[in-house]
Structure 1
Amino acid sequence: MSSVPMTAIRGRFLDIQNTVAQARDIHDQVRYVEDGLLLTENGKVSWFGEWQQGQHLVPEYIQVEYYPDQLIVPGFIDTHIHFPQTEMVGAYGEQLLEWLDTYTFPTEIQFSDKAYADKIAQFFVQELLKNGTTTALVFCTVHAASVNALFEAAEQHHMRLIAGKVMMDRHAPDALCDTAETAYQDSKALIEKWHGKGRNLYAITPRFAPTSTPEQLAKAGQLKAEYPDVYVHTHLSENKNEITWVKELFPEQKGYLDIYHHYGLTGSKSVFAHCVHLEEEEWDCMHDTDSAIAFCPTSNLFLGSGLFPLNKTWEKQVKVGLGTDIGAGTSFNQLQTLNEAYKVQQLQGDKLSAFESLYHATLGGAKALNLENILGNFNIGKEADFVVLNLKATALQTLRQERAKHIEDALFALFTMGDDRNIEATYIYGQKAYAQNV
């Protein structure tokens, strides 16, 4: 990657310094700098601290970008999203399996056309930036062209995306089905082309167990064995009818997760979306294999899938990140996602604090993606992806923020009332990639 210019950012900063084992420990790791300075060099954090201590480090030729009234946080991390479903957000009236047949599959067929895939990929990446999302784990379609389109769009911004071609050889329209062998060959070629190129990373992506034959899942496992550094990204235990169907299709396995585990698809770089209805032994397997969950509250509510037990992830020590799950999810925006996550917790008699919310959207998400060593906060040496937030984007927000007693209260109000209007600027690899007023 070519050298990236140095930047100097001054303003109010908030991040979580280290990953934690329990939600109660997050408060001890909160770092709030009222008047701070962030220096970036070649896309990474080179210095971070108090303005008074660091201002002499800013070279005379560098213009300091100053945000005195805003709040600067690490870039938001989306651990589960479908770029081909961008145009079908808010599709009416179905639960998961019927929704796939009625809306998703007809939409995804269009991505055999590279020009069409390019158009949606460009829109998708801009929408991520507009919403402060700087890293995402993304489903493409069965078409290799969709993967190429997405990575090409992300490369224009030096953006860190993880993505892969869907593997799907049954229970879908013929126009969307590959075979076990073609899925293997296409995925292998895409891994060789994209994984580790710039900031791009690849994910082996069987859609979910019902749409892959045992032969295809075995090929997915073969890919993982041949390329242990790549990711695995799929769905798990989203919907009760889905789980019943899976058990009928794979009677020889102990349960839904055991199918993936049997084929070598669990592990520290494996992310399973939803996991609303895991059984106890599946929680244990998630922990034992260091696999991660993508919690997708807007999607789970929209499709009526159920309430995800977030507190169980702390109890069982299972990695978890936030997912918008566009297009069953209803917003690209992680502020709105956290708003719904809070309500999901309330409905289960639990609470979700502002600082825990920030953790899941940033450093916790990085941990879920096995990227906590390079993303998620302002520690020196990490990649400089961050978001400038306007806490007073509307008249109501302004009124509410004037009553905020401290930064945690201000942050909670933002997570409850915020949307894309609150994203003033998004920086990728130290450079401004989006500004609301441009």
Structure 2
Amino acid sequence: MALHNRIRNWLASAFGGETRGRLATLHIQNREISAGLSALGQSLQRHVDEWNGALQVQHDAILSRLSEMDASLQRNFDAWNARLTQMDERATRVSEHIESAGAAADILRVLDAVQSSLLHRAEEHASADSSRATVISNQITDTRAAISESLQLLGANLLAIGSRQDEAIASLKRLIAGPETGALAIDLYLTLLEKVLTGTLHGDAAISGTGTAQQDEVRRAVGYDWPATAETMIGVARLRNVRMLLERAIAEKIPGDFIETGVWRGGACIYARAILVAHHQPTRRVFVADSFRGLPPPDPENYPADANDPHSTFAALSVSREEVERNFRRYGLLDENVVFVEGWFKDSLPTAPIEKIAVLRLDGDMYESTIQALNALYHKVSPGGFVIIDDYILKNCAQAVDNFRSTHRIDAPLSSVDGAAVWWQVPAPRGVLP
């Protein structure tokens, strides 16, 4: 014990109070460092916890978005498969039509041969057999005429079916391109509306010379009859053409409105309004231009091509404005974006309150009605916009279109819809994209 005290006294005398002070200071600093490290550790732990929480939230959000995208892709995939199935069915029908066309053509050739043989025998034998041969020959002539008409309708339907397939594919690609467009719902609505407006859904009868006749689906599809009650006589193919071109105008951002000159009961204009509403186009208008009292009498002095044109005598073509408005109202589509332009085209169209046109549809039948509409409205069609001629199958209408295109050096190609109507796209000026 004495030795221990001596060593301690010796160390105290050797190092003095300064060393003790340093040791105390180091002890204090050590405690401060330990406290700082502890605080830093706690701060780091809080940050790690916060980062973990944020990462979890982001992880959950990403999983939720991936789930939504997966569901959206599945819906679009299902819609695409449904349309592919429809197109397969149409392709099968086309094949069947082609086979029927071949068979009908063979029948025509056989009938021609039989008829020729009978007439030849009738010439050789001036007897009772010759009169019998003549009767049979006349029957063959009637049968041949009926088959020829069927072939003409079949050819028109083949054109229309091919056109609808191309339009459906192009329309579907544009609609599915958006993230959440409700493409299937829009397509179902517009397709159903086509069937209602043309009367194919409920088998609407056709107007005939003796009253009404049962609907012929082939004729109705290409607008070769006059419906008894349906809102349009242009048929499914030409109605689908309106949809295709309006949807293109929307997709390609071509400015302007829709106008039809010659609307009958308003079906095509009703359909155009439905298309614009379905695609959320609040600023585009539909102009409904008609005399609402039929077609004008021919004016052969100014328009020789219309000499003896009978359209002004058809009472069924005279539909009042009130009836057309009622038809719009029945479909819930009569609003401030539907504008009526009433009067003969020579008076009403030059002053119509329309600035730009995206789709111009002419259905005036005659040379006069067609050329007046083109003169008054064509220059308002936006570059990249579209012109539809419903009655190009009629000689005087086609002459008006050809003369106008020649005069204005329009060389844009004409595209056929169903063998009766045509359309073209107005080209943009050189160096300017639509």
Q: With structure 1 as the length reference, what TM-score do the two structures score?
A: 0.27
- Whichever structure has more helix as a proportion of its residues is 2
Q: With structure 2 as the length reference, what TM-score do the two structures score?
A: 0.28
